[in-house]
Structures are given as structure tokens and as C-alpha cells.
């Protein structure tokens, strides 16, 4: 595999502007996810296209296109199993894959790890808000005793919203570009 140069938004003024653009787009996705529990396909396509453009301008055209497409494929491959298991929405998977167009393939795994950690925190907060602290503590104790129960979804009560997981994915994507040393986590 080609050793693509990592994305380092703080490295130059141009990169900082690109990073600010990505963060603004990710914020728009988060707002949509919180409000409607949907991430618009047009926004996802814009993130992917601008990520492709960023990669192609920060590297050579062919190398940048390759980096963007490899990032897109890796980002999709990492999260699509969770969609297949009903744990994430399709918009979440597409958002992460599109955001990976901005990153080097080596940064995708760090972004996914940070996203998963942020998602765990977000999920605990959502459990406390929807089920109360007592049931959440009981659920966490059960998982600590038997980790196989971690994959057992706890459905939100009727009328309670689902977790806007796009927030966690956006955190991982943004941090991967702004703190490139995260790619060393994997």
C-alpha cells in the first residue's frame, strides 16, 4: 500500500482553512443528526467531494485521488458491519466514510477508535437520559460481569429518541486531522 502523507490541519494556513471547512461541515451533520436523526445525503456528498478536492490539492492529483478513495473505502468498511447489525444508521456510516476522504488511510483507524470511545461516552449519557441512572448502572454492571451482553441492544422506550451517533463519528474525524498523532494509537 502507498504510504500517503497524513493530514495535519495545524501544519499550514491552507491546511487550517481546510480543517475549519471540514469541522463546519461536520457540525452541520451533527446539528441535522440531533434535530432529525438524519444526515442528508447531499451534505455527505459535499463532505466527500471537498475531501477529494483537498486530498488532490495537498498531494498530486492521482495520489490525492487514491488517498481519498482508499480512505472512503476503509471508513465505510469499518462501520458498515454496525449498520448491518442495526447499531448505526446508514447516514452515520456514509458520514464517516465521506470524512475519511480528508484523511490518510493510516489515520482512518485512529479516527474510528476515537469515534468508538466518544460513542461509548455518548451512549452512556443517552442511557442515563432515557433509562435513568439506576438502570444504566445495572446495565453497565451486567456488561462488566458478562461482556458478551455488550452487543445486546437496549431499545429506547417508545417516544424516546435514539442516539445521534454522528456526533461521535464527527469527533473522531475532526480529531484525526487536527491531532495527527492519534494515528499512532492503532
Domain ranges of the chain: 9-185
The tens digit of pLDDT for each residue in 120-137 reads 999 888 878 877 888 878
Average pLDDT over residues 61-73: 95
CB 111 within 8 A of CB 95: no
CB 95 within 8 A of CB 136: no
Whole-number average pLDDT of the chain: 89
The winner for highest mean pLDDT among 70-79, 83-92, 140-149 is 70-79
CB 120 within 8 A of CB 19: no
**Nearest-angstrom CA–CA distance, 91 and 129:** 23
Average pLDDT over residues 60-88: 94
In 3D, which of 46, 9, 7 has the Cα closest to residue 25? 46
Reported as a pLDDT band with limits 50, 70 and 90, residue 161 is low
Give the Å distances, CA to CA, from 138 to 134, 146, 165: 6, 12, 23
Alpha-carbon 114 to chain mean position: 8
Reported as a pLDDT band with limits 50, 70 and 90, residue 65 is very high
Lowest average pLDDT, out of 48-57, 66-75, 79-88, goes to 79-88
In this model, does residue 91 exceed pLDDT 90? yes
- The confidence score (pLDDT) of residue 128 equals 85
Average pLDDT over residues 110-126: 92
Average pLDDT over residues 32-37: 93
In this model, does residue 1 exceed pLDDT 60? no
Percent of the chain exceeding pLDDT 90 equals 66
- The confidence score (pLDDT) of residue 85 equals 86
In this model, does residue 154 exceed pLDDT 80? no
- The confidence score (pLDDT) of residue 16 equals 95
Burial of 151 by CB count in 10 Å (0-12 exposed, 13-18 middle, 19+ buried)?
A: exposed
In this model, does residue 94 exceed pLDDT 80? yes
**Nearest-angstrom CA–CA distance, 114 and 111:** 5
Amino acid at each position: 500500500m502507498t504510504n500517503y502523507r497524513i493530514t495535519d490541519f495545524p501544519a499550514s494556513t491552507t491546511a487550517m482553512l481546510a480543517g475549519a471547512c471540514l469541522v463546519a461541515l461536520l457540525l452541520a451533520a451533527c446539528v441535522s443528526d440531533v434535530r432529525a436523526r438524519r444526515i442528508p445525503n447531499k451534505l455527505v456528498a459535499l463532505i466527500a467531494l471537498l475531501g477529494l478536492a483537498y486530498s488532490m490539492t495537498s498531494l498530486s492529483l492521482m495520489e490525492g485521488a487514491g488517498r481519498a478513495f482508499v480512505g472512503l473505502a476503509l471508513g465505510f468498511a469499518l462501520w458498515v458491519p454496525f449498520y448491518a447489525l442495526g447499531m448505526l444508521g446508514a447516514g452515520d456510516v456514509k458520514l464517516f466514510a465521506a470524512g475519511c476522504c480528508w484523511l490518510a488511510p493510516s489515520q482512518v483507524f485512529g479516527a474510528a477508535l476515537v469515534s468508538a470511545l466518544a460513542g461509548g461516552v455518548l451512549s452512556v449519557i443517552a442511557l442515563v437520559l432515557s433509562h435513568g441512572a439506576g438502570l444504566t448502572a445495572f446495565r453497565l454492571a451486567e456488561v462488566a460481569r458478562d461482556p458478551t451482553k455488550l452487543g445486546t441492544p437496549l431499545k429506547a422506550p417508545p417516544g424516546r429518541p435514539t442516539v445521534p451517533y454522528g456526533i461521535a463519528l464527527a469527533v473522531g474525524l475532526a480529531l484525526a486531522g487536527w491531532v495527527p498523532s492519534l494515528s499512532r494509537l492503532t
